[in-house]
Amino acid sequence: MRFVSALVSTVVLLGASSAAGSGLSGSDRREIREMVYSPCYLRIHVPTNDAVQPFIEISPTGYSWERLVGEAEQKARQKNKSSGVYFAFQPNDVVKWGKPSYDKDRITVWFQGIRDELKVIFVQIYTLDDFKKAYDYVFCRVPLQDEHPDWPAEVRAAISQRRVILGMTKQQAACVVGAPLKVETVAEGGIPIEVWYPRQETQDRRTPRTGLPATLKFADGKLQVIE
């Protein structure tokens, strides 16, 4: 459930550690290289730009793109330009052939996607277990619908088709919409309802809209309303 809680709450990275450098061994680095070279399926929307700058930091405790995107937008405003940042990558998109580079506790990985390239930064990585924990927040080694073979067939089929259907759990819906931009709890008829607001805009000139529903409403942990 660690992944679900990361999706429906603000994810905060821990402060930088004072350790002098990474404790990764040669075999650790080989395993990391194999992990990122193989197909990696995204769990969330991830930003990039035409220059393939990294806009997301991933740690063993969560991930954040707000700071790096905010800095890019601030610099662009000072020059009266667009930041050029767009969310070309969405849940269940695959990236592969990753090339890792190391700098103390940071690992920058440059991936190739279907039509765009993606660069991400793993931070506070001192052990192989740190990397695996961080990886699991944003990536999956198999298509998201295949990670849970015990889920109902209709749910797995909907995830593979990027559709949400009534009756999905929050974790299942997140496989389609990723991390909602906003979550709020309201009362309808005396029943507490959790409302998700999925991302609508991508800022990608080729595909400016995500095509996701505007709101999802959950009651008793199950998706009840799609609007």
Q: With 80 as the cut, is the pLDDT of residue 10 above it? A: no
Q: CATH number for the domain including 187?
A: 3.30.1450
Whether the Cβ atoms of residue 129 and residue 136 lie closer than 8 Å to each other: no
- Structure token pair of residue 65: 């793109």
Q: With 80 as the cut, is the pLDDT of residue 16 above it? A: no
CA 62 to chain centre: 10
Q: Are residues 168 and 57 in the same domain?
A: no
Q: Are residues 28 and 87 in the same domain?
A: yes
- Structure token pair of residue 196: 């998700």
Q: Are residues 131 and 157 in the same domain?
A: no
Q: Are residues 111 and 215 in the same domain?
A: no
Whether the Cβ atoms of residue 127 and residue 23 lie closer than 8 Å to each other: yes
- Structure token pair of residue 19: 């350790």
- Structure token pair of residue 87: 């969310």
The number of distinct structural domains making up the chain is: 2
pLDDT at residue number 22? 61
The fraction of the chain above a pLDDT of 70, given in percent, is 90
Domain boundary among 118, 141, 164: 141
Handedness of CA 169, 171, 175, 178 (dihedral sign): positive
Q: Are residues 99 and 172 in the same domain?
A: no
Task: Give backbone dihedrals phi and psi of 2, rounded to 5 degrees, phi first.
Answer: -55, -40
Q: 172 by DSSP, 3-state: which?
A: helix
User: Could you give the CA distance from residue 112 to residue 92 in angstroms, rounded to a whole number?
Assistant: 15
Count of C-beta atoms within a 10 Å radius of residue 155: 20
Q: Which residues pair with 101 in a beta bridge?
A: 108
* Burial class for 8, CB neighbours closer than 10 Å (0-12, 13-18, 19+): middle
Q: Are residues 102 and 194 in the same domain?
A: no
Question: What DSSP assignment string belongs to 32-64?
Answer: HHHHHHS-EEESS-EEE-TT-----EEETTEEE
- Segment 128-142 mean pLDDT: 98
- Segment 169-179 mean pLDDT: 98
Q: Are residues 136 and 152 in the same domain?
A: no
- Structure token pair of residue 49: 């730009």
Q: Are residues 134 and 169 in the same domain?
A: no
Distances (CA, A) of 95 to 45, 69, 77, 122: 13, 21, 31, 16
* pTM metric for this prediction: 0.89
**Domain of 176, in residue numbers:** 148-226
* Higher-scoring residue by pLDDT: 61, 16: 61
Q: With 90 as the cut, is the pLDDT of residue 15 above it? A: no
pLDDT at residue number 115? 87
Q: How many separate helices (H) and strands (E) can be counted in the chain? A: 6, 13
- Segment 202-214 mean pLDDT: 93
Q: Are residues 154 and 107 in the same domain?
A: no
